[in-house]
């Protein structure tokens, strides 16, 4: 009896830790799934969507779903999301890296309630900024509010030179929004949970880490709206 009790006590901590690890991974996978749903809903909006030609040219796509209003008005200012980039080796999209966005302003829409954020990185130089431990939008990477519509037939020089374009959706209203002053950094803890080991954002975005199965819904939407074109 005593031996049985001792075995149970010794096994319990490992069992609890494993349970928490599974829950943690589930939370990260849920965020990826929510991000794919946000992309689908926004891109299915026709004339109120992100222009297809911009998305097709994007080097990276980042999504922060369900950003709470209070998060950018009082107290801690941050939201969690994911970002993935096109790889140079012809493998398609990189594994998703989990990110935190903090501070800055996302415009008046933030006062309306929950907000979804989407941003795209246009150039490799912008992608290089993402590989830093922390970077500031508008400082380390130039940014503008993105246009809305089926296509960008009237592209401006400023828009094409901007390294990052961004949009927000709140209560059904979708519009380009500036992330000027916001900071972004990888969530290393969540990335370690997702990939089963520590992985830098640089490794992940350069396709040096095998993508997790949880990323499939996100890849389905990216390949639908921004198909990978070999040689880009």
Return the structure tokens found at 150.
């089926």
Answer whether residue 232 is part of any domain: no
- For 23-37, 69-83, 112-126, which range has the lowest pLDDT when averaged over its residues? 69-83
What separation, in Å, do the N-terminal and C-terminal C-alpha atoms of the chain show?
Answer: 67
Contact of 218 with 84, CB cutoff 8 Å = yes
pLDDT band at 232 (very low <50, low <70, confident <90, very high): very low
What global pTM score does this model have?
A: 0.81
- Residue-wise pLDDT for 12-27, tens only, equals 333 333 343 566 778 8
- For 30-34, 107-111, 196-200, which range has the lowest pLDDT when averaged over its residues? 107-111
DSSP label of 158: H
* Residue 77, domain extent: 24-225
Answer whether residue 211 is part of any domain: yes
Report pLDDT for 78. Answer: 67
Contact of 105 with 138, CB cutoff 8 Å = no
Which of the given ranges, 35-39, 119-123, 167-171, has the highest pLDDT on average? 35-39
Which of the given ranges, 21-35, 79-93, 175-189, 199-213, has the highest pLDDT on average? 199-213
Q: Is the pLDDT of residue 31 over 90?
A: yes
Q: Is the pLDDT of residue 109 over 70?
A: no
Answer whether residue 11 is part of any domain: no
Count of structural domains, the chain:
1
Report pLDDT for 41. Answer: 92
Answer whether residue 15 is part of any domain: no
Answer whether residue 2 is part of any domain: no
- Residue-wise pLDDT for 133-178, tens only, equals 887 787 767 778 888 876 655 455 556 677 889 888 877 788 888 7
Query: What would the mean pLDDT of 178-201 be, rounded to a whole number?
Result: 90
In degrees, to the nearest 5, what angle opens at C-alpha 57 toward C-alphas 150 and 98?
105
Q: Look at 33 and 8; give whichever has higher pLDDT.
A: 33
Answer whether residue 17 is part of any domain: no
Answer whether residue 209 is part of any domain: yes
Mean pLDDT of the chain: 77
Report pLDDT for 148. Answer: 85
Q: For residue 213, give the 3-state DSSP assignment.
A: helix
Answer whether residue 100 is part of any domain: yes
């Amino acid at each position: 009896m005593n031996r049985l009790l001792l075995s149970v006590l010794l096994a319990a901590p490992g069992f609890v830790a494993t349970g928490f690890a599974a829950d943690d991974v589930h939370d990260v996978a849920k965020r990826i799934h929510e991000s794919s749903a946000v992309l689908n809903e926004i891109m299915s909006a026709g004339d109120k969507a992100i222009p297809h030609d911009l998305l097709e040219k994007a080097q990276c796509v980042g999504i922060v779903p369900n950003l709470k209003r209070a998060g950018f008005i009082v107290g801690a200012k941050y939201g969690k999301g994911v970002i993935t980039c096109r790889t140079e080796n012809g493998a398609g999209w990189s594994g998703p890296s989990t990110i935190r966005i903090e501070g800055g302003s996302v415009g008046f829409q933030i006062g309306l309630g929950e907000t979804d954020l989407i941003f795209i990185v246009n150039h490799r130089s912008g992608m290089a900024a993402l590989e830093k431990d922390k970077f500031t939008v508008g400082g380390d990477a130039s940014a503008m509010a993105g246009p809305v519509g089926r296509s960008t037939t009237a592209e401006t020089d400023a828009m094409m030179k901007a390294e990052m374009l961004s949009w927000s959706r709140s209560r059904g209203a979708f519009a380009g929004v500036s992330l000027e002053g916001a900071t972004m950094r990888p969530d290393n803890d969540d990335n370690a949970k997702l990939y089963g080991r520590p992985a830098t954002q640089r490794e992940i975005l350069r396709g040096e880490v095998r993508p997790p199965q949880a990323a499939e819904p996100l890849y389905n939407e990216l390949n639908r709206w921004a198909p990978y074109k070999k040689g880009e």
